[in-house]
Amino acid sequence: MADVSALDTWIEAHVDDLVAAVQSSVRVPSVKGEPDGPGSPYGREVRAALDDALDLCRSLGFAVSDIDGHAAHAEFGQGAEMVAALGHLDVVPAGDRWTRDPFGGELVDGFIYGRGTSDDKGPTIAALFGAKALMESGLPLQRRVRVIFGCDEESGFSCVKHYWDVAGQERPAAAFAPDAGFPLVYAEKGICDLALTLQRPAGCGGLRVVAATGGRRSNMVPDAAEARIGGPADALAAAAGQLAGYWDRNVTYAAEGDELVVRSIGKSAHGSLPQEGDNAIVRLARALRTLPLGADVAWAGRLVETGDPAGSGLGIEGRDEVVGPLTCNMGILEVTDDCVRVVYNVRYPVLWEFATLIHRVEAGLAGGQWVLAQTRNGPALYAPLDAEPARTLMAVYREVTGDTVTKPLTMGGGTYARATPNAVAYGADLPGSQDGPAHEPDERIAVSTLVTAAKIYARALHALANVSL
């Protein structure tokens, strides 16, 4: 009769396969793209990453189901109920300043480098190998075991909404999302996108911002922004002269055609940690408001105020005792001839109501020309530690690692754990690891992390498949 140590043995014997599988997935640049026909709702590259994963699952002996290219799963075992690991194969864009190929999957000094290594291809594939170890062990299971691959985690969870709400897939009796940190995450802030717009008056002959852009995703701190300024040649020359003496070396300018182009660079960071980045839109706006741009000076000033990571510029600063302070990331700027549009990614305390937050934003806009044009909300998650699945997952983590000290976590990042009941985020980042950082240059994961995570996930799936829920 096998015992759970057989899980470790199998994983240790298949480390090379685990590494190769992660490398193969990382080599597919699965950034969300335009729909590419049936089965490719998120574009060709995401489809390719899903195919790569499903080929792997088949080769490992799982039964696979592809849910219209939005998500897919691998499953084994018998039972009326099912437990699941729920990861994702889409990645955020690489961004700049990598010292390694972001889609090379290079293995250097025990780390695999590349976009998606830690968020979330590595952890997801570690969970799959954990499930495979369990399959091979022959240990008795009361429930089926499933690994679910989502394909649109980074921009709105439409994948898992399709999986459950449209396709009517079975809900797991208990689940974890291998997409954060160990020991586990029991509270996730509420997450919303707020799009504010301002209608621009027509130009009146002086200097004017013709167009401006910054940021690619609301959930990343923008690392680049630019504005194109048009107007009379002598006024453009004067503005260039002014910028020549401007203090910020991260703001540059160039005459291009009959326009003056102002560019700024910042530092990217995850949208849940805006204070760790350096917002390029704020740098750009700070420079613009020093120029004689007429009506544009006012909105540039507003961008500087609302770029505050604590949300005070939007009137929504605050905190609760579970997850701490609200954060606010000004993620996207789009200025066209008639409109300024800004998208903020806000992470708010678990004990707050979304409606109250919106009320505060609207109160701050009252009497002005800015409009709250669009909102998208992901409610907070707050899972009790003395109930399943947190109780079992915490025990498994402690048993495998021997770490009985590290406390369960809360965070501002949102995971799939909030997309289905009885779920928490669980690894794969280990306390003190040098993996990550997610959404930044030189993202990486240690092979040792993958191995430890796979062992934890194997035992976790085994325990959840048998625990009374």
- Residues forming contacts to Zn ion in the complex (CB under 5 A) are 119-120, 179
Q: Which is nearer to Zn ion, 226 or 429 (CB)?
A: 429
Rounded to a whole number of angstroms, the minimum distance from the CB of residue 209 to Zn ion is 35
Q: Which is nearer to Zn ion, 137 or 329 (CB)?
A: 329
Q: Which is nearer to Zn ion, 134 or 185 (CB)?
A: 185
Rounded to a whole number of angstroms, the minimum distance from the CB of residue 429 to Zn ion is 11
Rounded to a whole number of angstroms, the minimum distance from the CB of residue 197 to Zn ion is 29
Q: Which is nearer to Zn ion, 76 or 457 (CB)?
A: 457
Q: Which of 75, 119, 153, 193 is catalytic?
A: 153
Distances (CA, A) of 344 to 10, 192, 209, 233: 46, 8, 21, 35
Rounded to a whole number of angstroms, the minimum distance from the CB of residue 217 to Zn ion is 12
Rounded to a whole number of angstroms, the minimum distance from the CB of residue 419 to Zn ion is 12
Name the residue among 45, 57, 44, 43 with its Cα closest to residue 87: 57
Q: Which is nearer to Zn ion, 271 or 307 (CB)?
A: 271
Q: Which is nearer to Zn ion, 115 or 200 (CB)?
A: 115
Q: Which two tokens stand for residue 22?
A: 């992660």
Rounded to a whole number of angstroms, the minimum distance from the CB of residue 184 to Zn ion is 15
Q: Phi and psi at residue 194, in whole multiples of 5°?
A: -120, 120
| Cβ–Cβ < 8 Å for 427, 181 | yes
Q: Sheet holding 444-446: strands in order across?
A: 107-108, 111-113, 444-446
Is 90 among the residues known to form the active site?
A: yes
Name the residue among 45, 27, 233 with its Cα closest to residue 121: 27
Q: Which is nearer to Zn ion, 30 or 213 (CB)?
A: 30
Name the residue among 399, 435, 395, 405 with its Cα closest to residue 7: 399
Is 3 among the residues known to form the active site?
A: no
DSSP labels for 377-403? EE--EE--TTSTTHHHHHHHHHHHH--
Q: Are strands 190-199 and 185-188 parallel, antiparallel or unpaired?
A: unpaired
State the Cα–Cα distance between residues 20 and 10, nearest whole angstrom: 16
Q: Which two tokens stand for residue 17?
A: 């396969």
Q: Which two tokens stand for residue 458?
A: 């194997």
Rounded to a whole number of angstroms, the minimum distance from the CB of residue 88 to Zn ion is 6
Q: Which residues contact 59 (CB under 8 A, 6 or more apart)?
A: none
Q: Which residues contact 359 (CB under 8 A, 6 or more apart)?
A: none
Name the residue among 294, 335, 302 with its Cα closest to residue 211: 335
Q: Which of 45, 75, 90, 226 is catalytic?
A: 90
Which residues are part of the catalytic machinery? Answer: 90, 153
